[in-house]
Amino acid sequence: MIAIFEFLQLREKAKAYLRWEEPRPRWPSLVALLRKYLHWSRTTQFDAELRYDIALRYLSERSHRSAPVNRILDAGSGPHGFARYAGRECVGLDLAFPRDRIPDDGGQMRRVVGSMTHLPFRERSFDLVLSFDTLEHLPPSQRPAAVRELFRVASKALVIGVPYGTEAAAHDRWAAAIERARGDEPDWRREHVSNGLPGPELDQLIASSAVVRNAVWFRVRNHESLLGLKLRWLIGRRISQSHPAYGLVLGPLFALSKRLHFGACYRRAYFAEFV
């Protein structure tokens, strides 16, 4: 508590020195830079950015060997989705979209309300179908129907990313127990634990679906080192995103997590391409 009080005092002294709230602050270029940093630190969805990095890298790799994709579906997009990070148009599907959030995707995402198990689209109506961290929010009995629907509406390519396996599930249970004891367990974590994470049965389901669709290219990759995830989670428990140091501390760790996928990983990604 003493350290927090001293930090708040120092912050107020710095703001007073810079005349932070005044129309003409001291060192205006520095103040403008600091404001830009704080906006980035407090508004960037680092976790989502890490997930969608899978798709961005895939599109970059694919552009060198295949025809480009135009029509994209992001199934289970949430309020912002892939469009926010790709800077291109796509369709985002989810069960609901919060009305109190202002979209920050530049108007690139067309929002469609619908179910993963009954996608409201024609067969092979999208060049590329994406789905990240969505299947684990469905009961295990509904996951096969959702996977079949994703394959049904994909024309050229499909990318699925999902928290996977016993070690990832153990991390979720450990984190959930701490969050629950402190009264701040997020809904998505609760669903991870109650539904259970996918495992080898998903490997078999997606591989067999790829065979049925005559996939010409199929890959499975692990993603997001569990060691890095645990480190970020522990730091995030002590430094909230509203803290001025959040971006300085967590930003580089998330950047490293985009590159380091060794050892036990939290997520598994599946890639399939079709004729």
Residue 267: Cβ within 10 Å count? 25
Burial status of residue 207 (CB atoms within 10 A of its CB: 0-12, 13-18, 19 or more): middle
Digit-coded pLDDT (tens) for 195-206: 999 999 999 999
Task: Supply the pTM of this predicted model.
Answer: 0.89
User: Could you tell me the two tokens for 26?
Assistant: 């001291």
pLDDT at 227: 95
DSSP 148-186: HHHHHHEEEEEEEEEE-HHHHHHHHHHHHHHHHHTT---
The answer to whether 269 touches 159, Cβ cutoff 8 Å, is: yes
Q: Domain boundaries in the chain?
A: 67-97+104-227+264-273
Per-residue pLDDT of the chain (275 residues; tens, 9 = 90+): 444 444 555 666 676 766 667 777 777 788 788 889 889 999 889 999 999 999 999 988 876 666 678 899 999 998 878 998 888 889 999 998 887 666 566 678 899 999 999 999 999 999 999 999 999 999 999 999 999 999 999 999 999 999 999 999 999 999 999 999 999 999 999 999 999 999 999 999 999 999 999 999 999 999 999 999 999 999 999 999 999 899 999 999 999 999 989 899 999 999 999 98
Q: Which CATH superfamily is domain 67-97+104-227+264-273 in?
A: Vaccinia Virus protein VP39 (3.40.50.150)
- The SS3 of residue 232 is helix
What pLDDT does residue 5 have? 44
Of 83, 74, 85, which is closest to residue 109 (Cα–Cα)?
83
